[in-house]
Amino acid sequence: MLRHSVATAALIGTALFTGAAFAQSGKVTVVTSFSKDVTDPFKQAFEKAHPGVTLDVQNRNTNAGVKFLEETKANNQVDIFWASAPDAFEVLKSKSLLQKHKPKAEGIPDKIGSYPINDPENLYSGFAASGYGIMWNDRYAKANKLPEPKDWQDLAKPVYFDHVAMAAPSRSGTTHLTIETILQGEGWEQGWRTLKEVSGNFRQITERSFGVPEAVNSGQVGFGIVIDFFAFSAQASGFPVKFVYPTVTTIVPANVAVVANAPNKAGAEAFVDYLVSPAGQEVLLEPSIRRLPVNPAVYAKAPADYPNPFKDPSLGARVKFDVNVSEKRTNVVDVLYDQTVTFQLDALKAATKAIHDAEAAIAKKDNADAKALVKEARDLVAVMPVTEQQASSSEITGAFTGGKEKGARQAELEQQWAAFAKERYQQAQAKAEQALKLAR
Amino acid sequence: MAGATTAGRAHAPSVSSRFMRLSATPGQIALALGITVFLVLFLIVPVGTVIYVAFTEKGTGEFTLVNFLDFARTDLFIRSFWNSVYVSAMSVVVASIFALPLAYITTRFEFRGAMLIQTLGFLPLIMPPFVGAVAMLLLFGRNGTVNLLLDEWFGVKIPFMEGLNGVIFVQAVHYFPFILINLSTALRNIDRSMEEAAQNLGSSGFRLFHRIVFPLAMPGYIAGASLVFVKVFDDLATPLLLNVKDMLAPQAYLRVTSIGIADPMGYVISVVLICMSILAMWISARAMRGKDYATVQRGGGGLAKRTMRPWESALAYATVLLILLLVLAPHIGLLLLSFATIWSFSPLPDAFTLAHYGRVFGESFVYIKNTLLYASIAGLIDVVLGIAIAYLVLRTKLIGREWLDWAATAALAIPGVVLGIGYLRTFYGVQLPDGTPLATLWITIVLALAIRRLPYALRACYAALQQISVSLEEAAENLGATKMRTVRRVVLPLMAGGILAGFVTSFATAAVELSATLMLVQSNADAPLAYGLYVFMQSAAGRGPGAALGVIAVLLVALCTFASHMIIEKSQKAKGASR
């Protein structure tokens, strides 16, 4: 026990000493949410490029990582925070836990797709990007005779009922961006309608991002809304899965930041610089990682069918994305989704099923009254308890961030929204069932 | 119950005088204070620094109880609450159905392989995080082995893992060893003469079991059943794995770990969980009050083991095999997964390989070493504390002694992530002379593990002590032995079975703990197996190696369990021989 702690102390001591004496040496401590398949190749490449430097990788999920930095800030021992979710970096930034560093790299544009690559104040930098899409298990699809989807709207079709999965936007920063893109692209009302129509077909809403590809890989769920690299790395490991980018997809960056008061600041900056350097960017092309480089020049070295967001306009460029709008209502959108969809999934699915059945009956035997009822049912499912203006208003956003002004409490809003949605789903189900009777 | 009360009446005259004589000595007071300091330092303060938020207003931080009112007014939380109660109660019922036959057959009859069955029956408790879940889904999920075959042969599917009933099924499989291990120990401790007396009076068969044997083993059963109830009530991993979110523990977890939202409700739910856990323990203690389970004669190897008639024997083997097959299915799945190339939407893997073991072989050594080190120290701490708390509660009249028990039990209700944050908050500011924060030392992980697993060891020690008659200690003291010597020479040896059961449970479950560990691990060199598993299980390519690591963890713990069963058996035999 004693030997152990002495060794640790000695190690940290050496790291501190050498870190101060020579730039770019000693130990660089990284807290990351990335898996071993991603971190190992970077560790090897970086240590090779910087002899004498060791990269000490601590794996934590994004949330644990954020909490860890928060709790240990008084005596920080971490140099780098390295993760996907931009919202985690926003939280760290707002708590002044990050340090400014503008990476020394040539040829990196301001935007990838329609999303800015770097934080405007240079507190964190994007080093890779990924696109969202649909991944499915081929064996599952064939066994259940399901067609291959091409677009988001396809997933709302009755044939996919109970076959789709997604991570909750409140649990996955990247899923959140996808939801927000749909809301901005289609507008608040139409966006939520699409989201609920797709969500009505969900088999499950997982609480961690990797839960979706895991369920698809093992064949428990047929179709998943996932980031591309989950599908590509599963394919590389031999799983019978396929992937498609929808015609309109979001490109989301993965980020890296130097932690405030980093014990080895020079080493940390060297690591960030390495990630965005051409050599570091090329590591991204490895089959086990397969993320999109932010340096357009690197795509020249990529395999022929590698998606290139700088050339292919369907990858992100067609989407309009306003970061300010998104930031203002982040929590509201997450909680709205959780309260009206995640925690009401049974009621939503029952309504969706009833609507599908009624529409199938109407398709066989037309009936104007039944049609009107189904339309009413669909509207009831789609309606939201708050308007777009309310969603960004300070009375509502303050309930989540803990603003000093006394508005409604978060718990009160949640209860209101949940009750609102549940009541309407039940009404929708009743109307759809009525329509089914008429059309029979 | 008749048997227990009859046994109780035999001692009735000594009751009043006993309590007068066994009031607290200075040594006992010092012990109680020591334990209190430990619990305050490593449980109450760290957790308090986190969950006090439940009592404050968001934004202003002023004291308020409005959050609890919000809890009561939110449909989701009320629904979650009743779902949790229902699932926990039903899990106890199903777990009892698994555990009773196994415990009874292996302790009551001459049965070949009893020790092996006890060890195997213990394995479900060691379910490595993530990969255990994947294995379970691959077998019992909607498109798992069983359902794919059923669908192919009969065109039906059984929803083993859907909704609340799915949670009950998985929880019962996972936690029934709590009942098995505590009940078996209790059965071994029963005074053989009680059974013989009943038989002489003409009782036999099932009547003998449910009127005499089972009531006498009640402390063990209650210890196990209350643990299952509280553990299921507080468990968040299984419901989340099955995507059931409307239960209390998952709701607390989802809220405590949401990024960027300062939501007091997660902590409010934590407080509710803690209160419910204490309430459950209080009810179970209450149910046992006024009854005396202690028997005087000890060490005959427990119940007289009987030989079975051939048809009885066949029936017993069939029952045992069936139960073992069911509860060990996840581990069989895990084993398959660790050798599988690809296993996706098919009853069995496509092909088998040894490559996954090759990949983890090199790096798993440091994980194994750390796991053994951490889990055994944590187990030892738990057993020592467990014995001390059980002794103080059952053998002294110290005021507020039950609070030691309840405080330690409350640890069950605290989500690992809350404990982890609390430890960072409390101990990261404390620096060693060279400037290293206290929280970066691996001993912090050990302490967190010890606190999280203390309730298991405590319940086992508590049940063991309940079965020992005070008159034995009185006899020793009358013969001039000091309290210390009495405890050492009389109480501890008689508790040995329960102590080992407690150690094994704490050790085994600490070996696969993840949630607090993930918060506290500071470097790969200090990481235990569960952390290594987590790192692998975040990618598709890591599934096989993760499963291999899981198998290693299970084997490791199983070996230790088997060894301790050998020790129990040996000591029982030795006692029997010396009688």
ipTM: 0.86
Residues B394-404 have pLDDT tens digits of 888 888 888 89
Return the structure tokens found at B22.
């066994």
According to DSSP, the β-strands at A26-32 and A223-227 are unpaired
How close A309 comes to chain B (CA, Å)?
Answer: 24
Largest CA distance in chain B: 75
Nearest to B81 by CA among B306, B221, B248: B248
pLDDT of residue A25: 59
- Locate B543 and state its tokens: 């599934």
Return d(Cα B130, Cα A35) in angstroms, integer: 14
| pLDDT at residue number B477 | 86
Residue with the larger pLDDT of the pair B2 and A318: A318
Among residues A133, A54, A127, the alpha carbon closest in space to that of A284 is found at A127
Determine the Cα–Cα distance for residues B275 and B277; give it in Å rounded to an integer. 5
Q: What percent of chain B has pLDDT over 70?
A: 92
pLDDT greater than 70 at residue B528: yes
Q: Across residues A291-306, what is the average pLDDT?
A: 90
Specify the higher pLDDT residue, A87 or B373.
B373
Length of chain A: 440
Total CB pairs under 8 A between chain A and B: 213
Q: How many CA atoms lie within 13 A of B514 on its CB side?
A: 25
| Closest among A293, A290, A266 to A277, alpha carbons compared | A293
Rounded CA-CA distance B388/B374 in Å is: 21
Surface of A (165-184) touching B: CB under 8 A: 170-171, 173
Higher pLDDT, A373 or A64: A373
Q: What is the mean pLDDT of chain A?
A: 88
Q: Taking the CA atoms of B270, B275, B280 and B284 in sequence, report the sign of the dihedral they define.
A: positive
H or E stretch at A99: strand A98-99
Give the separation between CA B264 and CA B281, rounded to whole angstroms.
26
CB neighbour list of residue A20: distance below 8 Å, 6 or more residues apart: none
Instruction: Decide if pLDDT at A78 tops 50.
Output: yes
- How large is the average pLDDT for residues A119-148? 93
Inter-residue contact B186 to B221 (CB < 8 Å): yes
CA B56 to centroid of chain Cα atoms? 33
Which among B447, B512, B383, B374 is positioned nearest to B46, based on CA atoms? Answer: B447
A106 CB burial (10 A radius; 0-12, 13-18, 19+): exposed
Q: Where are the beta strands (DSSP E) in A163-240?
A: 164-167, 202-206, 223-227
Of A391, A392, A410, nearest to A402 by C-alpha is A410
* Nearest CA distance, A439 vs chain B (angstrom): 30
- Of the listed ranges A270-284, A307-321, B242-256, B479-493, the least confidently predicted one is A307-321
**Shortest Cα distance from B403 to chain A (angstroms)?**
30
Confidence at residue B163, expressed as pLDDT on a 0 to 100 scale: 87
* Cα–Cα distance for residue pair B110/A98, rounded to 1 Å: 67
Check residues A283 and B532 and name the one with the higher pLDDT: A283
Distance, CA of B348 to CA of A100 (rounded, Å): 52
User: Which range is most confident: B36-45, B426-435, B512-521?
Assistant: B36-45
| A contacts of B240 (beta carbons < 8 Å) | 207
Phi, psi (degrees; rounded to nearest 5) at A249: -130, 160
* Contact between B259 and A1 using a beta-carbon 8 Å cutoff: no
* Mean pLDDT score of chain B: 85
Q: Say what the pLDDT of residue A141 is.
A: 96
Q: What's A223's DSSP letter?
A: E
Closest to A289 in 3D by CA, of B27, B159, B443, B540: B540
Closest CA to A280 of A50, A16, A15, A28: A50
Q: Give domain B2-344+355-578's CATH superfamily.
A: MetI-like (1.10.3720.10)
If one compares A225 and A86, the residue with the highest pLDDT of the two is A225
Q: Cβ contacts (< 8 Å) between B132 and chain A: which residues?
A: none
Residue in chain A lying closest to B428 (CA): A72
Reply yes or no on whether the pLDDT at B425 is more than 60: yes
Nearest to B260 among A91, A139, A143 (CB): A91
Is residue A79 less than 8 Å (CB to CB) from chain B? no
pLDDT digits (tens, 9 = 90+) for A371-403: 999 999 999 999 999 999 999 988 888 888 766
Q: CB-based contact (8 Å) between A142 and chain B?
A: no
Our measurement of the distance from residue B409's CA atom to the centroid of its chain's CA atoms, rounded to an integer in Å, reads 11
Cβ of A213 under 8 Å from any chain B Cβ? yes
Q: Name which of B551, B556, B530 is nearest B337 in CA terms.
A: B551
pLDDT, mean of residues A137-164: 94
pLDDT tens readout for residues B3-48: 343 343 334 334 444 444 445 678 888 999 999 999 999 999 999 9
Q: Is A91 part of the contact surface with chain B (CB cutoff 8 Å)?
A: yes
pLDDT value of position B490:
84
Which string of b and e fits B403-435 if b means at least 16 CB within 10 Å?
A: bbbbbbbbbbbbbbbbbbbbbbbbbbeeeeeee
Q: Which residues pair with A315 in a beta bridge?
A: A249
Q: Which of B240, B181, B271, B148 is nearest to B457 (CA)?
A: B181
Q: In angstroms, what CA-CA distances link B112 with A42, B66, B115, B208, B320? A: 55, 60, 8, 23, 12
In whole angstroms, give the CA distance from residue B29 to residue B392.
Answer: 9
Closest approach of B391 to chain A, Cα-based (Å): 30
CB B58 to CB A409 under 8 A?
A: yes
C-alpha distances (whole Å) from B12 to each of B190, B196, B198, B293, B494 are 19, 22, 20, 12, 22
Residue A439 and residue A374 in contact, taking contact as beta carbons nearer than 8 Å: no
Measure in Å the smallest separation between the Cα of B329 and chain A Cα atoms. Answer: 17
Residue with tokens 């005021």: B399
Q: Where are the domains of chain B?
A: 2-344+355-578
What distance in Å separates residue B318's CA from the closest CA in chain A? 32
Question: Taking a contact as any Cβ pair under 8 Å apart, which residues of chain A between 263 and 302 contact chain B?
Answer: 288
Sign of the CA dihedral with A143 first, then A144, A147, and A148 last = negative
d(CA A126, CA B492): 61
Closest chain A residue to the Cα of B441, Cα to Cα: A5
What confidence tier does A297 reach under pLDDT thresholds 50, 70, 90?
Answer: very high
- B372 in Cβ contact with B468 (< 8 Å): no
Residue B202 Cα to chain centre, angstroms: 38
Which residue from B14, B65, B528, B494 is spatially nearest to B292, judged by alpha carbons?
B14
- Residue A87 has its nearest CB partner, among B260, B265, B341, at B260
Which domains can be identified in chain A, with CATH numbers? 2-129+254-301 (3.40.190.10), 131-249+322-439 (3.40.190.10)
CA angle A81, A87, A90 (to 5 degrees): 70
B contacts of A337 (beta carbons < 8 Å): none
A68–B66 C-beta distance less than 8 A = no
Q: Are strands A251-259 and A125-137 parallel, antiparallel or unpaired?
A: antiparallel
Q: How many CB atoms lie within 10 A of CB A100?
A: 12
Nearest to A345 by CA among B141, B250, B76: B76
Interface test with A, best of B71, B539, B543, B549 (most A CBs within 10 A): B539
Do residues B55 and B139 lie in contact, with contact meaning Cβ atoms separated by under 8 Å? Answer: no
Substitution target from B143, B336, B421, B536 for chain A, most A beta carbons within 10 A: B143
Q: Give the span between the Cα atoms of A400 and A330, in whole angstroms.
A: 10
The rounded distance, in Å, linking the Cα atoms of A342 and B279 is 31
CA distance A84 to A251: 12
Contact of A404 with chain B, judged by CB distance below 8 Å, is answered with: yes
> Among A161-170, A176-185, A315-324, B275-284, which is the least confidently predicted range?
A315-324
Higher pLDDT residue, B299 or A299? A299
What whole-number distance in Å separates Cα of residue A36 and Cα of residue B200? 67
Question: Residue B380: is its pLDDT beyond 70?
Answer: yes
Tell me which amino acid residue B65 is.
L
Contacts 24+ apart (CB under 8 A), A389-394: A391/A188, A391/A329, A391/A332, A391/A333, A391/A336, A392/A325, A392/A328, A392/A329, A392/A332
Instruction: Judge: B344–A205 Cβ closer than 8 Å, yes or no.
Output: no
Residue B579 has pLDDT above 50, yes or no: no
Under an 8 A CB cutoff, do B442 and A4 touch? yes
To the nearest whole Å, the CA of B371 is away from the closest chain A CA by 14
